[in-house]
Amino acid sequence: MPTFPLAARQRALAVLAMLLAMFLMPSAQAWGSVQQPGVEDPGTRFFGALLDWDTDSAADYAQRLGAPAALYGQNVSLPVDDGGREYLKGYFSQIAEQGSHALLTVRPGIPLKDINQDVASAFARQITTAAAGFRGKVLVRFAPEMNAPWVSWGQEPEAYRAAFDNVAAALRATLPDPVMVWSPTAEKDYPFQVATSTPPKGVPLASLDTSGNGIWDQDDSAFEPYYPGDDVVDWVGLSVYHDTTGAGAASNTLPAAGEFNDALHASSGGTSSGEGGTDNFYGTYVQARTKPLLVETGAFYSPGAGGAAELDVKETWWHQVFASVAEPGNGSVRAVVWNETTEVRDPGRVPIDWRATAEPSLANPFRTSLDTSGLTIGPVTEKGLDNVPGIEAPQPKTGTVIQGWAAWASAGSVLVAVAALWFLSSRAFASKWSYTGTGKRDARIDMLRGLAIVFVVVNHVGINSVFQLLSQETLGVVSGAELFVMLSGVVLGMVYGPRIATELGDVVDGTTKRAWKLYFTALAVVLIVYGLSLLPFINAAAVTTFTDQGTGGAGRAAAGTTYDLYAGMEGLLQFPVPQGLIPALLLLQVGPWQFNIMGLYVVLLLISPLILVALSRGFTWLVLTLSVGLYIAGSIFRFRLLPSQFEDSFPLLVWQLLFVVGMTAGFYRHHIIEWFADRRRRWLLGVCIFLAAACAVFSWSGPYLTNQLDFRLALIPETTFRYVYDTFFSRTYLGPGRVLNVFLITIALYALLSAFWKPLSRAVGWFFIPLGQATLYVFIMHVFFIVAIANIPVLRDGNLWLNTGVYIALLAILWVMVKTKFLFRLVPR
């Protein structure tokens, strides 16, 4: 009998062991069934996350947590505009790479009564197109918190149920097995107002008065009127947050014992049976109807508010949440979705950080607790998109984050370069480069206005390109709008200031005529754009709707909400015209959001003679004191003087400060230049320039990356940056840091142009100066270019270099139009 060497026997045994393992081990498909649980599996509970997709990504979150979430949430407006479609494609692409399911929160941007079958079908087709190739499940949470008054679609039960039915039917006809989620709010004090027999919005009392006592009050059910029905609701949802602030001041408090579980099982109001306090959400809508429950949650923490430490607050809360969902009595909780965003709450401008993974000191213990909760993390589907012919998966925006010593070295290099320029400008030989103009027109102001209008055009067109690397808060925490407003005041002070004392009548006549010209121009643009929107071959949604990016007065919570800026304008084609439409049109309550600042200029021009008279009579400090006082009042109380649309983005009481300070600077331009030119004060100019550079470095430290060519300096923790930015540099209500930055950057750029005028003028003056001398013309014409560009399908694909080429062509066309005086007789300039 032959014998085998020991090594050969060992190899043979190894082969046999491998073959045996192959037969005994589950197949790849079997492993997939274990690692990739389905939404239908009642034994699986998912962990999800809501992200701020402008500053975060699914990949970054997975890195912080150590694993992907099983599902990721995203807001989507109804209807979906072009920008929203691109966001959705990027969203599905990102979470597909993580092997996660999708949770779409649909926020209607039109009245619920208008969401008919046709509108719902168009919406469903848009969602289906964006989700092409997506392997995971799509959960759709339609119009959440519909029983609350703080959402535009709130407390209209009949219209809500009909809209829910239409959207559910449309999605089921196009998407493979979508999961429809009904998600009211469990907040106490429903109906959030005093008892009444006449509900708002013309809603019939009978549809809300479930107790049958003839009054809509706290005895009525907070849920029953809004429930669409078991046939259309697949899951139910509930928002349960630890937030004890109410309407009071921000306070970081520890969750009370059992707080989460008590909220989960709380009762509200009475049912149609007339029994008060028996409408228990969990018992009635989860257990009795055997509906899976999705819970959205998070713990309130406001940096700088004092009270309990962040880790103590959030850790106590997540321990409660995870322990509660593990209890047998809460077995129907199928998903827990954690809020991983920050926001600023308007009352008191309170910054809130809901995140549990912002820093390793939070993320590590959070993951440890999550691992013991029984909740499933990702991946839960096969990663990546299916290969769908004709569909190219968009790439998420990425960029470079410079960290550690490299970040500080980069920041130091910038400050050293600024110091070198400052030193160079003080040398005697540099005088040959300086500005020597003596005419009435200051070419330096024209160049700055040209730069500002280019920034405005780039940001308003809104397609991603290389130009965004310069236009989006690169020079500091300022945008083109702030520079535009301030420089407009400077020009007005320069032009009319010398004449106000002797030619008051002419000045009043000139500014009034200018104001009326701007007003009628604004009306004309509003009507022309509406006319274009009626043409079947033109999609004017880019200028007739606005998708909130979370940077306005409504805060980040409103991100993704789409507003119809021409709501009700179809009444112009009716007879008689509906009451209130003509006043709304005349008050500029409708129109393109890119153009609404025109209303602000009209008002400021009308009051400018009063300011100029006060300046000419030596009441400068009174003017500035009143202006600052109005700014403070507007920032704190946030009330609007006019119903015009511009008050939403450019509150009059706040933004007047930039215009008034600019007008004062223009009025005293020569005095200010001479004051800074004094050698004894030259150091102060240097301080202003250095601080402007420091503000730019601070802006580069933000977590907002525009595209793959962008970068950020990780100089300070992200939470610190967000707190400082939201508290001191807010845009709509012009935080004090932003106002200071506008002043500093204006001084610094003016000084730079003064010292190095000749080389800069030769390099870029030929382009910026003509645009700066015709800013109103460029501003008007750019609205129609926005419509044209929005109707070029290839530009929706987000090709960085193609879009950059489009911007170059657009700016070149505008420059040629200015140089050739195209339509100058018709279009104001």
What pLDDT does 764 receive? 94
User: Beta strands 235-242 and 179-182: pairing type?
Assistant: parallel
Q: Which residues contact 440 (CB under 8 A, 6 or more apart)?
A: 494
Is 705 a member of any domain? yes
**Is there a single domain that holds both residue 746 and residue 792?**
yes
**What is the DSSP code string of 650-661?**
S-HHHHHHHHHH
**Is there a single domain that holds both residue 606 and residue 722?**
yes
- Using one digit for the tens of pLDDT, what is the confidence trace for 634-684? 998 888 889 898 998 899 999 999 999 999 999 999 899 888 888 788 888
* Terminal CA-CA length for the chain: 106
pLDDT of residue 784 exceeding 50: yes
What pLDDT does 394 receive? 44
Residue 299 is inside which H or E element, if any?
A: strand 293-299
Is 28 a member of any domain? no
- Whether the Cβ atoms of residue 102 and residue 49 lie closer than 8 Å to each other: no
pLDDT of residue 10 exceeding 60: no
What pLDDT does 549 receive? 55
What pLDDT does 27 receive? 32
What pLDDT does 37 receive? 46
Is 395 a member of any domain? no
- Residue 297's identity, in one-letter code, is T
The phi and psi torsions of 296 (rounded to 5 degrees) equal -95, 135
**Is there a single domain that holds both residue 749 and residue 791?**
yes
Is 247 a member of any domain? yes
**Is there a single domain that holds both residue 347 and residue 449?**
no
Is 761 a member of any domain? yes
The phi and psi torsions of 652 (rounded to 5 degrees) equal -55, -45
Is 10 a member of any domain? no
Q: Which residues contact 298 (CB under 8 A, 6 or more apart)?
A: 241, 242, 317, 338, 339, 354, 355, 356
pLDDT of residue 13 exceeding 60: no
- Using one digit for the tens of pLDDT, what is the confidence trace for 184-206? 886 567 887 777 877 877 788 88
**Is there a single domain that holds both residue 232 and residue 359?**
yes
**Is there a single domain that holds both residue 540 and residue 633?**
yes
Is 126 a member of any domain? yes
What average pLDDT does the segment 787-811 reach? Answer: 85
pLDDT of residue 569 exceeding 80: yes
pLDDT band at 248 (very low <50, low <70, confident <90, very high): low
**Catalytic annotation, residues:** 145, 296
pLDDT of residue 51 exceeding 70: yes
pLDDT band at 268 (very low <50, low <70, confident <90, very high): low
What pLDDT does 702 receive? 83
pLDDT of residue 276 exceeding 60: no
Q: Of 17-21, 358-362, 718-722, 767-771, give the lowest mean pLDDT range.
A: 17-21
How many structural domains compose the chain?
A: 2
pLDDT band at 271 (very low <50, low <70, confident <90, very high): very low
pTM (two decimals): 0.66
Is 7 a member of any domain? no
pLDDT of residue 730 exceeding 80: yes
pLDDT of residue 547 exceeding 70: no
| β partners of residue 76 | 106
What average pLDDT does the segment 1-14 reach? Answer: 41
- Whether the Cβ atoms of residue 279 and residue 224 lie closer than 8 Å to each other: yes
- Using one digit for the tens of pLDDT, what is the confidence trace for 423-443? 887 775 557 888 887 777 899
**Is there a single domain that holds both residue 675 and residue 756?**
yes
> With b meaning 16 or more CB within 10 Å and e meaning fewer, what string describes 752-788?
bbbbbbeebbeeebebbbbbbbbbbbbbbbbbebbbe
pLDDT band at 3 (very low <50, low <70, confident <90, very high): very low
Domain residues for the domain of 778 are 400-417+445-819
The widest CA-to-CA distance across the chain, in whole angstroms, is 127
**Is there a single domain that holds both residue 364 and residue 492?**
no
What pLDDT does 471 receive? 87
**Is there a single domain that holds both residue 228 and residue 329?**
yes
Q: Please indicate whether residue 560 or residue 255 has the higher confidence score (pLDDT).
A: 255
**Is there a single domain that holds both residue 245 and residue 329?**
yes
**Is there a single domain that holds both residue 529 and residue 585?**
yes
- Using one digit for the tens of pLDDT, what is the confidence trace for 65-113? 999 999 999 888 888 866 677 778 888 888 988 999 999 999 888 888 8
- Using one digit for the tens of pLDDT, what is the confidence trace for 213-243? 888 888 888 888 999 999 999 999 988 888 8
Q: Closest Cα partner for 294 from 35, 48, 41?
A: 48
The chain-wide mean pLDDT, for the chain, equals 83
pLDDT of residue 446 exceeding 70: yes
What pLDDT does 265 receive? 81
Q: Please indicate whether residue 272 or residue 608 has the higher confidence score (pLDDT).
A: 608
CA-to-CA distance for 564 and 567, rounded, in angstroms?
Answer: 5
What CATH number did the domain enclosing 93 receive?
A: 3.20.20.80
What pLDDT does 523 receive? 94
What pLDDT does 395 receive? 46
Task: Determine whether 328 is exposed, middle or buried from the number of CB atoms within 10 Å of its CB (0-12, 13-18, 19+).
Answer: exposed
- Using one digit for the tens of pLDDT, what is the confidence trace for 285-332? 888 888 999 999 999 988 877 788 899 999 999 999 999 888 888 888
Q: Where are the beta strands (DSSP E) in 488-604?
A: 545-547, 562-564
- Using one digit for the tens of pLDDT, what is the confidence trace for 251-265? 888 998 888 888 888
pLDDT of residue 162 exceeding 90: yes
The 3-class secondary structure across 611-642, one letter per residue, is HHHHHHCCCHHHHHHHHHHHHHHHHHHCCCCC
Question: Hey, what long-range contacts does 357-361 have (CB within 8 A, 24 or more apart)?
Answer: 357/61, 357/64, 357/65, 358/64, 358/718, 358/719, 359/717, 359/719, 360/64, 361/311
What average pLDDT does the segment 156-162 reach? Answer: 91
**Is there a single domain that holds both residue 404 and residue 356?**
no
- Using one digit for the tens of pLDDT, what is the confidence trace for 342-364? 876 654 456 788 899 988 889 99
What average pLDDT does the segment 542-560 reach? Answer: 59
